[in-house]
């Protein structure tokens, strides 16, 4: 794993945490429906989120393996820098997306919809989820929901150079999203109203944007040393 990716685990955890306003908007409805007709149960939300994060890890492993394959077929440093620039450009776009300045990532999300139209109907058989055996596979399916936040994290997983590191990065990202979605499931209405506040979205967007700009500056310094 390249030196400039050594802090990616922490960065992806924080990006998952800061992007919580987007997570609540995208997944808040489904986690609120987990216990439709009954009181919220922490064990069901943990099972659902475990499945969701497991799917992120699988996607991260695929991205890391593809990135590693590319590195074996080329001069490594230029490609590493190119992948790193791509990952941080995605973070810049995500920051603007969270703020509401641009819908660039909405365009990116369309690429995942072809897969999603086949997976989404499968989730109906697990709703309402009243057992762990229903909540976990529901999370596995929902982990493939087209999401600009997830795609931004996967772009960083591409830089990892291996399936193992890619999976680890996406596990860190998934852990960052966990607090927001657990709270969204247990306190859905109150938290979704809070996440919709412009000040909250601006703060999260600016912090994620800062991650991207910082990464691009690091890539520029590394390229200057070539």
pLDDT tens-digit series, residues 149-161: 899 899 989 888 8
pLDDT at 163: 94
- Rounded to an integer, what is the distance from CA 176 to the centroid of its chain? 9
The rounded distance, in Å, linking the Cα atoms of 26 and 6 is 30
Q: How far apart, in Å, are the Cα atoms of 131 and each of 44, 45, 135, 136?
A: 7, 10, 6, 9
Q: How far is 161 from 81, CA to CA, in rounded Å?
A: 12
Q: Which residue has the tokens 């992806």?
A: 12
Residue 59 pLDDT level (bands cut at 50, 70, 90): very high
CA 149, CA 18: separation in Å to the nearest integer? 10
Q: Residue 100 gets which letter from DSSP?
A: T
Total number of domains in the chain = 1
Structure pTM? 0.83
Check pLDDT > 80 for residue 190. Answer: no
Closest CA to 20 of 212, 188, 169, 178: 178
Secondary structure (DSSP) of 153-189: HHHHHGGG-SHHHHHHHHHHHHHHHHHHHHHHHHSHH
For residue 36, pLDDT over 60 is answered with no
- Show the domain range for 164: 3-224
Structure confidence at residue 202 as a pLDDT band (50, 70, 90): confident
Mean pLDDT, the chain, rounded, equals: 80
């Amino acid at each position: 794993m390249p030196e400039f990716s050594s802090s990616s685990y922490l960065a992806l955890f924080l990006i998952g945490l800061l992007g919580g306003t987007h997570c609540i908007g995208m997944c808040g409805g489904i986690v609120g429906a987990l216990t439709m007709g009954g009181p919220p149960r922490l064990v069901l939300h943990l099972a659902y989120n475990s499945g969701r994060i497991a799917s992120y890890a699988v996607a991260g492993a695929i991205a890391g393996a593809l990135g590693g394959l590319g590195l074996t077929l080329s001069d490594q440093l230029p490609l590493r820098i190119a992948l790193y620039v791509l990952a941080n450009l995605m973070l810049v776009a995500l920051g603007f997306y969270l703020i509401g300045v641009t819908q660039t990532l909405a365009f990116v999300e369309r690429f995942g919809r072809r897969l999603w139209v086949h997976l989404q109907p499968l989730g109906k058989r697990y709703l309402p989820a009243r057992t762990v055996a229903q909540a976990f596979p529901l999370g596995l399916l929902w982990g493939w929901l087209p999401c600009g936040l997830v795609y931004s994290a996967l772009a960083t997983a591409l830089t990892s150079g291996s399936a193992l590191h890619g999976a680890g990065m996406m596990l860190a990202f998934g852990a960052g999203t966990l607090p927001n979605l657990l709270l969204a499931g247990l306190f859905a209405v109150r938290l979704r109203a809070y996440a919709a506040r412009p000040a909250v979205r601006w703060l999260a967007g600016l912090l994620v944007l800062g991650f991207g700009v910082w990464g691009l500056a690091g890539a520029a310094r590394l390229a200057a040393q070539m």
